Chain A
Amino acid sequence: DTEVTQTPKHLVMGMTNKKSLKCEQHMGHRAMYWYKQKAKKPPELMFVYSYEKLSINESVPSRFSPECPNSSLLNLHLHALQPEDSALYLCASSHNGLEGDTQYFGPGTRLTVL
Chain B
Amino acid sequence: GEDVEQSLFLSVREGDSSVINCTYTDSSSTYLYWYKQEPGAGLQLLTYIFSNMDMKQDQRLTVLLNKKDKHLSLRIADTQTGDSAIYFCAEGTSGGYNKLIFGAGTRLAVHP
Contact = CB atoms under 8 A, between A and B. Distances in A.
A100 B102 contact: no
Nearest to B90: A42
Interface residues of A, number: 27
B98 A105 contact: no
Contacts of A101: 92, 98
B29 to A, nearest CB: 9
A83 interface: no
Interface stretch (B35-43, B62-70, B77-85): B35-43
Interface string B32-59: 0101000011111100101000000000
Contacts of A99: 30-31, 92-98
Between B33, B42, B45, B100, the greatest number of chain A beta carbons within 10 A of the residue's beta carbon is seen for: B42
A28 B51 CA distance: 26
Interface in A79-96: 90, 92, 94
18 contacts: A4-B42, A42-B88, A44-B102, A45-B100, A48-B97, A56-B97, A98-B97, A98-B98, A99-B30, A99-B92, A99-B93, A100-B30, A100-B31, A101-B98, A105-B35, A105-B43, A105-B45, A108-B41
Interface of B: 30-31, 33, 35, 40-45, 48, 50, 88, 92-100, 102-105
Q: What 9 pairs between A and B have smallest CB-CB spacing? A: A42-B102, A105-B43, A107-B42, A101-B98, A105-B42, A108-B42, A100-B31, A100-B30, A97-B98
